[in-house]
Structures are given as structure tokens and as C-alpha cells.
């Protein structure tokens, strides 16, 4: 907990800086796309939030594995802290996608594989959070949610590929991938990278803050329990 | 293991065990759908595979919280945990018992309900086979969900929220197989994938179920 105190304000500040620079650059200083017009600019919110929605789940999975193997309490609390942030990221991705989809595809929602798997991811997040909220004993809750997260990850990946089987997509291919020759045109690429960095930093800052809150809440509970015994 | 299976089956079949409740629920879903979408036969023919699969899934969901709840309350689950039979095997047996009392009757009744929804005649065989392959996975996933929520006072609603997203792949492949069968296409690919999911569930989930039960019995 000690090292996070100096890190926290910096990560918030850097996240804010990256987001302001990236979004202002992206929204006002990039040209309109020749087919999509200015709607293309929603990419600066849509792609980073979608990326973080998935990464938040992966982070929860890693934290759950650490909790199951090493029983480090902070990792369980970090997984718990990341879940609501991940939900919000998923919602941002779904809503910005809908706003972009209305002028481009003529519909806010289609049962496209990517859209559907995001909706399923949203349901997984809801179940995970609901299980945390439902169990009173913190250690039991941490154990059960960790196992749910691990099993859920397997099924989330299965669902992701199953929906491709079920329906062919409307969504374009990945905007970013590591092995592509060129991703998006450079004018859009650099502000997008800055926005992604901003979202990553924002996620780190929020999770750190929420984890610190959880740890404090746990300490207060322990102190109260001790006070009642004395 | 056999003794446990026999005990669970006997408990489910006797009065108050809820056997047949799932089947009745399935029938009600099938009866309600035409009221919702209208009685035109061509519409019903088109949606019949999906309705039958979703109905079977919901009917299987209905009886999940019975798998462990009563055993947990009267302490026999704690006895099971201390018995020489590993808890993993107990979870497997519980899932099997649940399948025999809900999944199997649903599978056998589904073609009859397909008749009510004027399903394509080519689809009946695929419906039977896909349910036969798919419903064991529903029972196994459900057993895991039931083990997760066994310690909770009112876990029923939470159980549905946890289990339904896990049902997605099974449902997709099951309904897809029947749809392809109805359209006269080759349905072997979804059936094989679904068999893979069922086999995977039975390979992994007993361990997860046992781990979760141990935590809840702590």
C-alpha cells in the first residue's frame, strides 16, 4: 500500500494529460475520414475502452489466480476493485459503438459476433460483481469469485468463438493488431495510441484508488471487530 | 457412487422432489410462445428450434438450486465431504442425477413439443441428438453454479445470473445444429463442437465444483 500513495496522484495526472492531449488532438486536429466523415473520431473513445474492458477482465483473472495460488489478500481486493471499472469500460464501448453504428450501419445494435460477445462479457461482469456483493464473509467471497472468474474466463473465450459460428459479422476487422503491416492511417494512429495510454493509466489509477479504499474498509472492519471483543 | 446416484434419483422422484416440474415448465413455455408471436405456422416453424432449446435451457435452470440446497441444510453435504468418496466424484454424480431427472425427460419430450410448434420434419432427429449431447453440459455447468451459491440464503436469482452466461456456447451450437437440420444442411460441425463442450465441462467442472463446495463448507 505504501508505494501506491506517491504513485496514485501521478497516474491520475498522467492519465488526464494523455486523455486531454489525445482527445483534443484526435477530435480537432485530425482530418475527417473520406467515407465516414467526422464520426470516425469516436474511435478515440471506442477502441481504448473496448481494449480496457477486455484487459480489465484479464487483470481480474491474473489477480484471481494469484489469490488462489498465493493467497495474497491484496490481489483478491484488486480483482474486486477492477470489476466495476471493467463494467463501465464495457458500457462505454457498447454505447460509443452504438452511436457510431447508427449513421454508419444504419442501426444502433446488430447481433454481430463482436457486439454480442461484448454483451456477454458485460453479463459475466455483472455475475461476478453480484457474487461479490452477495457473500458476507470476505475470504469466502474472494475464493468463490476467484473460481468463478477462472471458470468464467474459459466460457467467455468459448462464447467469443461460438458466436462467430452463429452469425457472420458486420463489425470491421481489428483497428489495431501487432502483426498488421499498417493499422489505421498515421494521422489517426498517434492520437489513438495516446488515448489508449490515457485509458490504461486511468484504469491503473482507478484500480489503485479502489484497492486502497477496499484495504482501508477491511482494516476498519477488523478494528471494529477487535473493539467489540475488547 | 452408485448408492449416491440411487439416493439422489429416489429423492427427486418421490413427492416434493420436483420431478416433472421442469417438464411442465417446458410445456408452458412452448404453449406461451404462440400467444406471444401469433399462431401462423410458418413463423413458428422458423423459430421452433430456438424456442425448444431456450425452453429446455430454462427448464433445466429451474431445478438447479435443488441440487445442493437440501443436502447443505440437513448436513448430508458435510457428511459427503468427509466420506471416502472424493467430492469431485460427488459433484459428477449430482450432475448425472440432475441430468437423468431433468435433461433426459426434456430431451425425450422435445420432439413432441416440436410437433406443437410445427417444426420442420427433418429437424426432429437433430433436435433429439443435440439435446442428448447438450443437456449433460447444462446439468454440469448448473451443478457448478449451484455449488457456488449453496451457502447463500436467497441464491436462486443470483444462480441464474451466474449460470446463464455460461450456457451461451452450448445454446449456440445446440440451436444451430437443429436449425441446420431444419434447413436440410449438414449439422455435424455444431454437433461435434457441442460434444466437445460437453466433454470439456465434464472434464473440468467437477474439480471446480468440488473446490467451491469445500470453500462453502469451511
Contacts of A134 in chain B (CB under 8 A): 149, 152, 155, 158
Residue B155: closest C-alpha in chain A: A134
- Report CB contact under 8 Å: A154, B204: yes
Instruction: Answer with the residue of higher pLDDT: B49 or A26.
Output: B49
Neighbours of B6 (CB within 10 A): 12
What is the model's pLDDT at position A23? 82
Q: What's A208's domain CATH number?
A: 1.20.120
What is the model's pLDDT at position B9? 77
Residue A166: closest C-alpha in chain B: B172
Does A199 fall in a domain? Answer: yes
**In three state form, how does the secondary structure of chain A look?**
CCCHHHHHHHHHHHHHHHHHHHHHHHHHCCCCECCCEHHHHHHHHHHHHHHHHHHHHHHHHHHHHHHHHHCCHHHHHHHHHHHHHHHHHHHHHHHHHHHHHHHHHCCCCCCCHHHHHHHHHHHHHHHHHHHHHHCCCHHHHHHHHHHHHHHHHHHHHHHHHHHHHHCCCCCCCCCCCCCCCCCCCHHHHHHHHHHHHHHHHHHHHHHHHHHHHHHHHHHHHHHHHHHHHC
Number of domains in chain A: 1
- Length of chain A as a residue count: 230
Does A229 fall in a domain? Answer: no
What is the model's pLDDT at position A37? 66
Is ipTM > 0.90 here? no
Burial A189-211 (b: 16+ CB within 10 A, else e): eebbebbbbbbbbbbbbbbbbbb
What is the model's pLDDT at position B40? 85
Q: Which residue range forms the structural domain that includes residue A137?
A: 4-224
- B10 in reach of chain A (CB within 8 A): no
Q: Considering CB atoms only, which of A134, A148, A162 is closest to B152?
A: A134
Does A188 fall in a domain? Answer: yes
Does A109 fall in a domain? Answer: yes
Q: Considering CB atoms only, which of A140, A151, A158 is closest to B169?
A: A158
Residues A86, A53: contact at Cβ < 8 Å?
yes
| List of chain A residues with pLDDT < 70 | 1-2, 32-38, 168-187, 230
For A37-79, write each residue's pLDDT tens digit: 667 778 888 888 988 999 999 999 999 999 989 888 888 889 9
- Give the whole-number percent of chain B exceeding pLDDT 70: 98
Beta partners for B124? none
Does A205 fall in a domain? Answer: yes
Distance from C-alpha of A195 to C-alpha of A42, rounded to nearest angstrom = 11
pLDDT value at B180 more than 60:
yes
pLDDT value at B141 more than 90:
yes
Does A195 fall in a domain? Answer: yes
Does A230 fall in a domain? Answer: no
Contacts of A130 in chain B (CB under 8 A): 158, 161-162
Phi, psi of A168 (to 5 degrees): -85, 155
Distance from C-alpha of B64 to C-alpha of B95, rounded to nearest angstrom = 10
Contacts of B172 in chain A (CB under 8 A): 159, 162-163, 165-166
What is the model's pLDDT at position B18? 65
- A69 in reach of chain B (CB within 8 A): no
Does A189 fall in a domain? Answer: yes
Q: Considering CB atoms only, which of A130, A147, A166 is closest to B158?
A: A130
For B112-128, write each residue's pLDDT tens digit: 888 888 888 888 888 99
Amino acid at each position: 500500500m505504501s508505494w501506491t500513495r506517491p504513485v496514485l496522484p501521478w497516474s491520475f495526472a498522467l492519465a488526464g494529460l494523455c486523455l486531454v492531449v489525445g482527445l483534443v488532438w484526435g477530435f480537432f486536429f485530425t482530418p475527417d475520414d473520406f467515407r465516414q466523415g467526422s464520426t470516425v473520431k469516436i474511435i478515440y473513445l471506442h477502441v481504448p475502452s473496448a481494449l480496457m474492458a477486455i484487459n480489465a477482465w484479464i487483470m481480474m483473472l491474473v489477480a484471481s489466480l494469484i489469490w488462489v495460488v498465493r493467497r495474497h489478500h491484496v490481489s483478491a481486493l484488486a480483482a474486486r476493485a477492477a470489476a466495476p471499472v471493467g463494467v463501465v469500460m464495457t458500457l462505454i464501448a457498447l454505447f460509443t459503438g452504438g452511436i457510431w453504428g447508427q449513421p454508419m450501419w444504419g442501426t444502433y445494435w446488430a447481433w454481430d459476433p463482436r457486439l454480442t460477445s461484448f454483451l456477454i462479457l458485460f453479463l459475466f461482469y455483472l455475475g461476478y460483481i453480484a457474487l461479490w456483493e452477495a457473500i458476507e464473509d470476505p475470504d469466502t467471497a474472494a475464493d468463490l469469485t476467484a473460481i468463478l472468474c477462472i471458470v468464467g474466463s474459459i466460457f467467455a473465450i468459448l462464447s467469443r468463438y461460438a458466436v462467430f459460428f452463429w452469425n457472420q459479422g458486420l463489425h470491421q476487422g481489428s483497428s489495431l493488431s501487432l502483426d498488421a503491416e499498417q493499422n489505421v492511417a498515421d494521422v489517426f494512429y498517434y492520437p489513438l495510441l495516446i488515448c489508449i495510454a490515457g485509458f490504461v493509466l486511468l484504469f491503473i489509477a482507478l484500480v489503485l484508488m479502489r484497492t486502497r479504499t477496499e484495504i482501508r474498509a477491511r482494516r476498519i472492519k477488523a478494528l471494529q471487530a477487535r473493539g467489540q471483543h475488547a | 457412487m452408485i448408492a449416491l446416484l440411487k439416493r439422489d434419483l429416489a429423492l427427486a422422484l418421490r413427492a416434493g422432489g420436483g420431478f416433472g416440474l421442469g417438464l411442465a415448465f417446458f410445456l408452458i413455455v412452448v404453449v406461451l410462445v404462440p400467444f406471444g408471436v401469433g399462431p401462423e405456422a410458418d413463423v413458428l416453424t422458423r423459430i421452433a428450434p430456438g424456442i425448444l432449446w431456450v425452453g429446455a435451457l430454462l427448464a433445466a435452470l429451474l431445478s438447479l438450486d435443488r441440487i445442493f440446497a437440501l443436502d447443505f441444510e440437513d448436513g448430508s453435504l458435510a457428511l459427503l465431504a468427509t466420506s471416502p468418496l472424493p467430492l469431485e466424484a460427488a459433484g459428477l454424480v449430482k450432475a448425472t442425477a440432475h441430468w437423468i431427472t431433468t435433461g433426459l425427460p426434456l430431451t425425450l419430450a422435445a420432439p413432441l413439443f416440436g410437433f406443437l410448434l410445427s417444426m420442420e420434419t427433418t429437424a426432429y432427429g437433430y433436435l433429439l441428438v443435440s439435446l442428448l449431447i447438450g443437456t449433460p453440459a447444462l446439468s454440469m455447468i448448473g451443478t457448478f453454479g449451484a455449488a457456488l451459491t449453496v451457502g447463500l440464503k436467497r441464491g436462486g436469482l443470483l444462480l441464474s445470473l451466474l449460470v446463464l452466461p455460461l450456457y451461451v456456447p452450448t445454446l449456440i451450437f445446440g440451436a444451430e445444429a437443429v436449425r441446420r437440420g431444419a434447413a436440410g444442411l449438414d449439422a455435424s460441425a455444431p454437433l461435434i463442437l457441442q460434444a466437445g463442450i460437453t466433454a470439456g465441462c465434464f472434464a473440468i467442472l467437477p474439480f471446480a465444483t468440488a473446490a467451491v463446495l469445500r470453500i462453502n463448507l469451511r
